């Protein structure tokens, strides 16, 4: 009977999946964030505002954290016995791992890797191991050579020991197959001890059986409920859309350094794009038309100057070109309407 019940819930889940994905039509309202008084918050105000919010569960969270800190001795023992520790659960595990580092790793060589940092690469991790831990200044042709070198070094010198703390092993930069393979090889060296944390719900998908056996994980649930302040500060894809302020400020910054004529050219394009905002078939302004308009406004005097100007815009990612069906190049500003309107308003104010 129980089995049957289980089967039922499973088939329900499947049905729900197909229900959710059955029609391409989306049944949500058409309201947008533009309706808010302040549709955009930039990073700074966000931080300021969040600092004002009181944390309601300070005492409870402290108690939970202490219960995890009681595990530190065990982690140390298990890492020495060749296991690697992985932490999962809701909440940032940064401060917990930092506490562990402060309490236990003072006298050992250790490297902290911030996986959530957007420019982290496996190569930089390997470099910091060879340079800081092994005092080797030379460079390597490939990560594979480098890992061979590291394995050899650690095998030759059994007194060498290294603690590797990786925050967010499942971050965008490290979740690739190759990076995980290399990190797994690092973790499988007996005298390298790895303590890592994962947050993404699908993190275990990164590893096949071979990699999992390389890592030799022991899983520990550490649900801390603390906010992902550091981790999400880089996760700006959702914020950028709303905090168009960032894009706007960079836009004005770039434009301010240009000649009046160049600003005029950009303005012309922006105005044209705004004028066509309700036209769904609008694909941009073709170069010839644009040249014509610029000439009429006495902004350029030759085909060449306009092209040079557009190249400069393109280098600053201010415009995008698209080939139309007729082979003609169309010019577009890759910004949403709100930002563009704000930009024009600001320009008007200044002039």
- Residues between 189 and 228 that touch another protein (CB under 8 A): 198-204, 209-210, 212-213, 216, 218-221, 223, 225, 227-228
Q: Which is nearer to another protein, 53 or 257 (CB)?
A: 53
Q: Which of 259, 260, 242 is nearest to 339 (CA)?
A: 242
Give yes or no for a contact between 86 and 206, defined as CB atoms under 8 angstroms apart.
no
For residues 141, 144, 149, 153, the Cα torsion angle rounded to the nearest 10 degrees is 160
| Shortest distance (Å) from residue 226 CB to another protein | 10
Span 128-147, contacts to another protein by CB under 8 A: 144
Residue 231 near another protein by CB under 8 A: yes
**Binders of another protein: how many residues, by CB under 8 A?**
71
Q: Which is nearer to another protein, 102 or 201 (CB)?
A: 201
Q: Which is nearer to another protein, 77 or 308 (CB)?
A: 77
Q: Hey, what are 129's tokens?
A: 């191991």
Give yes or no for a contact between 198 and 206, defined as CB atoms under 8 angstroms apart.
no
Place of tokens 């073709």: 286
Contact region for another protein (CB under 8 A) — 20-28, 281-289, 309-317, 319-327?
A: 20-28
Give yes or no for a contact between 324 and 286, defined as CB atoms under 8 angstroms apart.
yes
Residue of 119, 156, 159, 237 that binds another protein (CB under 8 A):
237
Three-state secondary structure readout of 280-329: CCCCCEEHHHHHHHHHHCCCCCCHHHHHHHHHHHHHCCCCEEEECCCCCE
Q: Which is nearer to another protein, 146 or 309 (CB)?
A: 146
Q: Which is nearer to another protein, 144 or 308 (CB)?
A: 144
Contact region for another protein (CB under 8 A) — 10-18, 126-134, 158-166, 315-323?
A: 10-18
* Gap between the Cα atoms of 268 and 309, Å rounded: 13
Span 238-277, contacts to another protein by CB under 8 A: 238-239, 241-242
Span 56-75, contacts to another protein by CB under 8 A: 56-57, 59-61, 64, 74
Residue of 3, 32, 138, 325 that binds another protein (CB under 8 A):
32
| Shortest distance (Å) from residue 303 CB to another protein | 34
* Gap between the Cα atoms of 183 and 330, Å rounded: 45
| Shortest distance (Å) from residue 201 CB to another protein | 4
Distances (CA, A) of 303 to 96, 286, 288, 292: 61, 13, 9, 9
Residue 28 near another protein by CB under 8 A: yes
End-to-end CA gap in the chain: 78
Alpha-helix runs per DSSP H in 22-167: 43-52, 58-69, 72-80, 94-104, 122-128, 143-156
Contact region for another protein (CB under 8 A) — 43-51, 106-114, 296-304, 305-313?
A: 43-51
Contact region for another protein (CB under 8 A) — 15-23, 95-103, 250-258, 259-267?
A: 15-23
Question: CA Rg, the chain, in Å?
Answer: 27
Residue 102 near another protein by CB under 8 A: no
Residue 297 near another protein by CB under 8 A: no
């Amino acid at each position: 009977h129980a089995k049957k019940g289980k089967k039922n819930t499973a088939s329900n889940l499947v049905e729900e999946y197909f229900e959710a994905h059955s029609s391409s039509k989306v049944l949500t309202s058409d309201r947008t964030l533009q309706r808010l008084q302040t549709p955009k918050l930039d990073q700074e105000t966000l931080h300021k505002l969040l600092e004002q919010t009181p944390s309601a569960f300070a005492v409870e969270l402290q108690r939970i954290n202490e219960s995890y800190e009681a595990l530190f001795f065990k982690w140390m023992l298990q890492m020495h016995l060749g296991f690697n520790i992985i932490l999962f659960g809701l909440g940032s595990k940064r401060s917990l791992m930092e506490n562990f580092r402060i309490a236990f790793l003072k006298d050992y060589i250790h490297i902290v890797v911030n996986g959530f940092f957007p420019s982290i690469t496996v190569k930089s991790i390997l470099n910091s191991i060879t340079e800081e831990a092994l005092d080797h200044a030379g460079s390597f042709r490939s990560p594979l050579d480098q890992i061979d070198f590291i394995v050899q070094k650690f095998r030759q010198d059994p007194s060498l020991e290294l603690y590797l703390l990786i925050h967010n092993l499942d971050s965008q930069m490290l979740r690739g197959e190759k990076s995980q393979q290399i990190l797994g090889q690092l973790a499988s060296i007996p005298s390298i001890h790895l303590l890592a944390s994962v947050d993404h719900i699908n993190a275990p998908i990164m590893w096949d059986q071979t990699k999992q056996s390389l890592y030799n994980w022991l899983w520990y649930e550490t649900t801390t409920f603390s906010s992902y302040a550091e981790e999400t500060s880089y996760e700006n894809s959702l914020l950028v859309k709303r905090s168009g302020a960032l894009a706007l400020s960079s836009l004005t910054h770039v434009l301010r350094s240009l000649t009046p004529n160049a600003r005029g050219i950009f303005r012309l394009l922006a105005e044209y794009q705004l004028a066509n905002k309700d036209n769904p078939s609008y694909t941009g302004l073709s170069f010839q038309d644009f040249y014509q308009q610029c000439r009429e406004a006495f902004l350029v005097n030759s085909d060449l100057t306009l092209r040079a100007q557009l190249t400069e815009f393109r280098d600053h990612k201010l415009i995008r070109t698209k080939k139309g069906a007729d082979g003609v190049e169309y010019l577009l500003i890759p910004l949403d309407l709100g930002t563009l309107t704000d930009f024009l308003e600001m320009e008007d104010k200044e002039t």
